[in-house]
Structures are given as structure tokens and as C-alpha cells.
Structure 1
Amino acid sequence: MRLRYRIMIPALLAAAAVNGQAPLHMDNYTIPVGKSGAKVGTIYTPQGAAKGVQLAEDTSGLFTVSKKGVLQLKKKASLGADAAMQYAVTLKTGDASESFILVKDEFNRNKVVAHRGAWKNNAGSQNSITSFRDAVRIGCEGSEFDVWLSKDGVPMLSHDGHIGGKTIEETPIAELTAIELKNGDHVPLFEDYIKEAMKQNKTRLVLELKPSKTGRGEQLAQTCMDLIRKYKCEAWMLYISFDYNICKKVAAIDPHAKVAYLNGDKTPAELKADGIWGFDYNWKVIDKDPNIFKEARKNKVTVNIWTVNDPAQMSTYLNAGADFLTTDEPEKALELVKK
């Protein structure tokens, strides 16, 4: 569905540039299924919760905005199984407007995140379009992937800082995307992943923003967030990084982004204080602190654990209350959660 873009006056652009934020954003972009009048999300400006918001465009005619700035389905409107997957709306308050894509919420909720896609038991390479498609096909809740900036500032996928004999941050994007992977794939752009993800509403993207060896970590975060805003794919996105400044940058751009920290050196209370949604720590870090699940619940931060490939460990962490497990063996994890 095509969206109509609004042109903002220079003063509004300056206001929207605070922390790189859009003039309007929401705390949720998914639509509950089978519930009349269901709430979608509360609307915010960079200054806080928005009031006096108008629904400037709604081609479906299904939505309304309350006086408190909540976007929701109309009282008698609901989405059934045969309803469309995506809906475009434009919201406006004063001179500020922003368009969004809302998504029928049929996302999997089985806690299984495929590490670099579902590659180990399938045809594709790690961090390839094929491995993402296979993560969707087998039914994962999320598919994790790693993103760097090329020399010329384009976000692309690779776990390591070099690929095909080339150092990513020192190589133009045209050379990087020419590198061949298995199964007919080439090294993909982050933009390619966005386009592929938006074809479905079952598996979310777990974007790992890699620490930069050239001091461009926050530039990577801003560039990726700009692409997410361009494609209006917020409903599909989760974020992780080993670089705490990158995590804080993403949270500053979108205070409701679901951002998790990877490095293992922050307590749940510290994460909460910095507006970080959760932690995503290696299982060795988890095993050293038996109170970490209790502290996470106390501080209302989420728990993801990487990289858990042993079914016995998977069971232990799921029983302890893990919200997500990142694994190279998503098939084993999915079989376990089914039981």
C-alpha cells in the first residue's frame, strides 16, 4: 500500500531533529485480531504524550483517535482472519504530521530467535535472505542478524567486521554486495531485509547494531533508524547491541523501541534507569547470577539469552522465565516449546 509523504516546514524539521526523533511516534504499531475497538498505540511527540491528534488519512476507514491521543479501531471495527495484513494512516497535530504502517498482529510468540537466521540445518548462509526466509518458514518469533556500515555509509549484513576478504568499514557497498554467498544469495543490504520482512507478519527482525571500529556506532544507529522510518517498519523491529552508547542512541531516537543490551555488564536496574527495554546476555553470564531473573522481573526488563543450543539448557532457562532464547538450533527450540 503506497503512503503519501508530507513535507514539513524548516522550523518543524528542526524540532523533529531533537535526538533524531520523528515529529510523531507511537508505543505500538500492531493491531490486535478479533477485538472490536482494540487499542493500537498511544501517540507521542518528542516532548511526550500527544494531545489534539487528528487522523489526517485512513484509507481503510477502520481507525479513530481518542481525546487522550490513543489510536484505536473504531468501536464496532475488528480484524478477522481474512483481514488485510497492513494498514496506512497519517496522524497530525498542529503543523506536525507523520505516516505509519500498522500491522495485523499475527506474530509468533514462542520465544525462539534464530541466530543469524535459520542456517545451520538449511540451505542458506548466516545473515542471508535465505536464512531469514527459513526462520519465517519454520515459525520463529524472531530472526537475529548483524549490521555494519560500509565505507560509504550503507548498512549491510555480516557477523564479522570482514567478509569475502574485505574489511567492511573500509570497503564501498558496491564491492560488498557483489560477494557471493551460498544458495545464490549475495551479501544483503539492511534495506533488503526490511523489504523481505514486510512481506509477512509472523517473524520479527532482531537487528544487531555492531560496534564500530571507526567510531561510527551512533551513525550506524541513526542511519538504520532513518531507514526504519522511511519504510515504516517499526512493527517488525527489535534492537540489540554490545555497544551501550548505540543502545542509548536508539532509545533516544525512539523511546519506545525494544532495545536490549548484549555485553553482560549492566544490572537490570541500570538498564531500566537508561530506558533500555531488556538484556540479551550470554548464558555464561546468566549462570553466574541466580538472581538475575528475579531482578529482571522486579525492574520490568526482558530476558534474552544467547547462544543456547543445548535442549537441556533451553528447558532450564524457559522454566526460569526467559522471554527469548537466541539459538543456532531453532528447530530444536521450537520442538521443545511445543511440548
Structure 2
Amino acid sequence: MTLSRPWPLAPVLAHRCGGLLAPENTLAGFAAAAKVGCGGVEFDVMLSGSGSPVLIHDETLERTTNGHGRVAGTRDEDLRALDAGRWFDACFAGERVPTLEEAAVRCISLGLSVNLEIKPSTGQDEETARVVARRAGELWAGAAVPPLLSSFSESALEVAAELAAHLPRGLLVERVPPDWLQRCRRVGAAALHAHARYLDRATVIEARGAGLWVATYTVNDPGHAQTLFDWGVDCIITDRPDAVRAFLPQHSAPTGYPAGLHARSC
């Protein structure tokens, strides 16, 4: 089967909201990505101890907040009291761990397309997928470009397929396994998301020939990004959306960037 559907998101996505331009998985990251003309973002969603979907990458709080302990063991009110920006730079002090609702509102207002990674805490794959898939479907209902849901967890993708079949899905892998196509078919994935270090041109060609989109992470060198696009990759996820976007001026900037809303910078 030949790929006929165009990739629905921006071709360059800021990794964890803003890449290296802002503290990861924060509202400041969205503004930073939009300010440099990046049309989309990738971010991680996990459940809090109250069962709410929030943006954070690690299962523990220490690296990206001033808190301690497990995200899955921290109630919403305690999570909201944490500082998620000062670790990155003092000028981002006061940034919070955003809720998925806050993220959706901000992305829609900025015209940012979204790759939402379902990031379950250990043992919470299906529960996380149930909450995130349903909520994403509600929050982006009627949106011109709905989010693409990706995950390393195949059981999470299977649940997402049942509850939000209208949202496209991507199978996340690091090294591309020999049975990647069968896995994509099994979970109903429309895209293969692979680490750029382990992705080769032959796999890109095969995936696209099988009717799949191909996204790759985390590509920070503009020359490498151009090579990957030349292979036929649909999307680059990068920590340097400013550098990669500057090297690829043909990619369009987001629409609807509100006047007066600026990214914080140091």
C-alpha cells in the first residue's frame, strides 16, 4: 500500500513542549516553540496520584521539580504547589506542572499541532490510556488537527484505539524491532516513531510503502534533519526547534499566535 494521507502535524515538533528553549513539559515551552515558528509540540502525559492527566516525563519528581517522590503518589493539590521551572533557569521560577486541559487550551490558542505521548507510570498502562484517550478526545473535539497519540506501551495504544479511534496513533520504539510492522498493525498505529540513531533509509521507505507515517526523535543537528527528510521521514522531534526550523524555512509557522503573548526568555 502506498502512503496517500499527508502527515497531519507540523513536520518539526518541539520535544517536551519547547526543547532546550524552556523547562520541559511546561506552558512556557509552548510559548517558546511558537515564538521560534515551530508549528507543533511533543509532550508526555502521566496520571497524578489523584488520577488526573498531567504533563511530566519522569515517574519521579526530583529531576524537573522541587518535589520528591512518585508522580503517581502525589495528589493534585500537592503537585500544583511545586515549582517546575527553576531547575531549568531562575527566570522560569513559578512554572507549574500543567494539566492536560491547560495544555490543550494553550496549544489550540497558539495553533500548535500535538504529538501526545501516553507515558504510564509502572503498572498503569491501561488506566493511563483510558483517562488520556478519553480526555484528549474531549479537549480537542472539533479541532482542525486532533492530537496524535503515541506510546512505548502497546497495551496503552490498544486501549486508546478502543476509546478514541478517531485519534491517530503512533508506536514508539527506540531500536526498530524486526516485527515493527506487525506490531503497528496489531495496535492500529498509523505511524512508526523511532530513535534517529537506529533508523535507516530502508526502514523509512518500507514503512511509507506500507502506508505508515514515520516520525523520529531526538534530532538536534539541522544537517541530520535534512538527511532524514530526504529519506522520506514525515516528522522530526527536536530539542532545537529554533535551529532545525531555521534550516528548513519551507516548513510553515503556526497560525493564530496571539498578539501580546510572548515566550519567557533569559
Q: TM-score range by the shorter chain?
A: 0.7 to 0.9
AA at the equivalent of 1:325 = I
Q: Deviations over 1:284-316 (max 9, x none)?
A: 2204xx421121122111100010112221111
Q: Deviations over 1:308-328 (max 9, x none)?
A: 112221111011011000000
- 1:205 aligned counterpart, secondary structure: strand
The answer for the alignment partner of 1:300 in structure 2 is: 211
AA at the equivalent of 1:180 = D
The answer for the alignment partner of 1:219 in structure 2 is: 127
Deviation of 1:165 after TM superposition, in Å, equals 1.8
AA at the equivalent of 1:253 = L
The answer for the alignment partner of 2:70 in structure 1 is: 167
Distance 1:336 1:161, change over 3 A: same
8 Å Cα contact 2:215/2:237 also seen in 1:
yes
Distance 1:217 1:270, change over 3 A: closer
Deviation of 1:232 after TM superposition, in Å, equals 4.0
Counterpart pick for 1:286 among 188, 199, 209: 199
Greater fraction of residues in strand = 1
The answer for the alignment partner of 1:271 in structure 2 is: 184
8 Å Cα contact 1:305/1:326 also seen in 2:
yes
What is the distance in 2 between the residues matched to 1:109 and 1:276? 15
Q: Deviations over 1:188-212 (max 9, x none)?
A: 11121112122233x1121111133
Deviation of 1:143 after TM superposition, in Å, equals 0.6
Distance 1:232 1:146, change over 3 A: closer
- The structure having more radius of gyration, on CA atoms, is 1
Q: Deviations over 1:85-118 (max 9, x none)?
A: xxxxxxxxxxxxxxxxxxxxxx996510100122
Greater fraction of residues in helix = 2
- How do residues 173-322 of structure 1 correspond to structure 2 at under 5 angstroms? 173-182=76-85, 183=92, 184-201=94-111, 203-213=112-122, 215-233=123-141, 235-263=145-173, 264-265=176-177, 266-287=179-200, 290-322=201-233
Size of the aligned set, in residue pairs, is 227
- 1:262 aligned counterpart, secondary structure: strand
| TM-score, scaled relative to structure 2 | 0.78
Percent of aligned pairs with the same amino acid: 26
8 Å Cα contact 1:197/1:236 also seen in 2:
no
Distance 1:110 1:222, change over 3 A: closer
Q: Deviations over 1:162-192 (max 9, x none)?
A: 1122210111121112111222311111121
What is the distance in 1 between the residues matched to 2:140 and 2:9? 22
- How do residues 24-173 of structure 1 correspond to structure 2 at under 5 angstroms? 110-121=10-21, 124-163=22-61, 164-173=67-76
Cα RMSD (Å):
2.1
The answer for unaligned runs of 5 or more in structure 2 is 1-6, 62-66, 86-91, 251-266
Distance 1:239 1:319, change over 3 A: same
The answer for the alignment partner of 1:91 in structure 2 is: none
Deviation of 1:142 after TM superposition, in Å, equals 1.8
- After TM superposition, what 4+ stretches of structure 1 lie above 6 angstroms from structure 2? none
8 Å Cα contact 1:272/1:299 also seen in 2:
no
AA at the equivalent of 1:181 = A
AA at the equivalent of 2:16 = R
What is the distance in 2 between the residues matched to 1:236 and 1:194? 10
- 2:246 aligned counterpart, secondary structure: helix
Deviation of 1:226 after TM superposition, in Å, equals 2.4
8 Å Cα contact 1:177/1:189 also seen in 2:
no
8 Å Cα contact 2:205/2:232 also seen in 1:
no
| TM-score, scaled relative to structure 1 | 0.62
